[in-house]
Structures are given as structure tokens and as C-alpha cells.
Amino acid sequence: MEVKPAKFPAAPGTNETQALVYALTAVLLWSTVATGFKLGLALLHPAQLLWVAGLFSWSVMLAYALWQRAFRLTPRQALLAFVLSLINPVAYYLTLFAAYERLPAHIAQPLNYTWALTLALLALPILNQPLRRHTVLGLVVSYAGVVMLLTGGHLTPHTGADINGIGVALALFSTVLWALYWLLNTRSRAHPAALLFWSFSGALPVLTLLCWLGPGLPAWSVQHLLYGAWVGLVEMGITFIIWGLALKHTGNAARLGQLIFLSPFLSLLMIHFVLGERIGWHVVAALLIIVAGIRLARVDPTTANT
């Protein structure tokens, strides 16, 4: 999952069936994004794909801000919104897309999922949170899963694996950017709708400049728009609102949040059947170990202020 759940006003009552439908819809949508990244990057430069996706995401954030009637920021909050925009979506997605260009999706996706662990590590210096024993144990377990993913269960990278060292470094660095983004986000008391809208508003001119100085703006074609919409709406936009609706209608957000752990496994299925990537046993085992470590560390990837 890639976006902080929206802070919706509390519902007067709960509807667990409706909450479950919303949650499963969000999980299914999020499970498609790794495939969308690879297909979109086959046609577009990372900066171009992010620019098109950013247009769609910005429209969602505008609608969200209008719905919540939240646009006002103080000067300090506006400065923070611009700083955050440089981290996400600009730096984070450019780094993540560069990793997906260099790695198979079944390698890049589990590596990116370790952002919850990076969040726990960065919370130490930034939020002055103590390093607890269960967190250390979870980190050790999860990163053992990362080692298994990259080596195929052997002491050295497994024969035939398409493991690009730069791609691995970029995927892991993207987790630092994402965790840093949410830790800085916790320092803002601005309405999340206003903060998101102005962050994406600040990012679009930067992305336009990067495209103009680099690969150029993408041609307007149906395919480019479809992949941009896929990434922009599903990964960065409308899905987080659906997840927020799920949290609004449930009386047990923690229990509902467990469904998010289905997403990376469903994503592997789509990667296999749509992209045709071979998913070895070690990939599934490594992802199970990574998820187990996240649970041991008691880090909740469905929230940003854990």
C-alpha cells in the first residue's frame, strides 16, 4: 500500500459488510500497481509516467479537497507541503520507477514493501521513539526475507536471477524516502486533504520541468493516458479514499487492516499471469518472512504515524 488513509469523520454507526467490501476493493486495486508500473515503464520514461500519473492524482486530490472543503494552509504548512511534494511524489516515485526499470516486478515489489521497517528505524532519531526488542526481532526476520529474495535461498545470488545491484539499491532507498515523507507528515496539523492537494499542486510544475529538461513531455496517446490513469488513480489517488471509507464504516480498524497483507501476494499472482514473470518458491517464502517480520515488529503499514 502506498498512501496514508484519509481521516474521515467518524460514522454514526458501523457496517462491517460495507467496510469489508471497501477494504477488499482497495486491496485488489493496490495489488495491480506493480504490474501497472512495469507496463507503463515499457512505453514511458519514469519522469513521463509520473507526470501523466500526477495529472490524474492531482484531479483526485482536488476533488477530495473540494469534498472536505479544505484548502487553507498557514505559511508554515504551505512550506511543508512544498517540501513534502519534492519527496512524494517527485523523488519517491522517480526512484521507485527507476528501480522497477532495472528489476523484475516480483523482486522490486517485496523490496518496496519493507518501507514499514524503514519507518520504524527512522522513527528512532526523528520521533525519539525507543528501539524495542520486538522491533529488533522483526527487523532481523524481515531483512532475512530480503536476503532470501535476492539470493534464492542460497548464500550467493541464484543462477539465472536478473538481480541488478543499482535497482536493488534504488528500491531500498525508495523506502527511506517514503518513510521520511510520512514521518515529516506527522509534524503537520493541516487538514490532510489540503496538504495532499497543495503537495501535488507543487509537484506538477517540478515534474513538468524535469520532463522538459529530460525526456520531453510524453505524446498524448490512449495508451499513455491509460497507464497514467492506472498509476495515478489506483496507486496515488482514488484507492486511498476507498480505504478511508472502509475505516470509516468499521468498528475494528486494526482487524480490517490485516487485509492489507493480502495485497503483495495478490500482486505476485498478477505479475505472474500478466507480465509472465516466473515466481519461484523462494519469492513467496521471502515475502512471507518479510510480512512476518513486519508483524513481529508491530509496524502497521496501513498508517503513517505508527
> What average pLDDT does range 219-233 have in this prediction?
94
Give the single-character DSSP code of 3.
S
Q: Which of 43-47, 184-188, 275-279 has the lowest mean pLDDT?
A: 184-188
Q: In this model, does residue 4 exceed pLDDT 50? A: no
165 to 94, 111, 116, 162, 268: CA distances (angstroms): 17, 13, 22, 10, 21
* Predicted local confidence at residue 288, as pLDDT: 94
User: What average pLDDT does this structure show over 13-19?
Assistant: 77
Averaged pLDDT score across all residues of the chain: 86
Long-range contacts of 218-223 (CB under 8 A, 24+ apart): 218/44, 218/45, 218/48, 218/49, 218/51, 218/52, 223/43
In the chain, % helix, strand, coil (3-state, to 5) comes to 75, 0, 25
Which residue has 521513539 as its cell numbers? 129
179-195 mean pLDDT: 86
Q: State yes or no: pLDDT of 223 exceeds 60.
A: yes
Q: Where does the pLDDT of residue 161 fall: very low under 50, low under 70, confident under 90, or very high at 90 and above?
A: low
Residue 162: predicted pLDDT: 55
pTM of the model as a whole: 0.87
Segment of 22-31, 41-50, 121-130, 236-245 carrying the highest mean pLDDT: 41-50
pLDDT confidence bin for 159, thresholds 50/70/90: very low
Among candidate residues 141, 168, 172, 170, the one with its CA nearest the CA of residue 157: 168
- Given a cut of 60, is residue 304 above it in pLDDT? no
pLDDT for 73: 93
Q: Are 224 and 44 in contact (CB under 8 A)?
A: yes
**pLDDT value at residue 101:** 96
pLDDT tier, 158 (very low <50, low <70, confident <90, very high otherwise): very low
Q: What CA–CA distances, in Å, run from 158 to 108, 172, 280?
A: 16, 20, 11
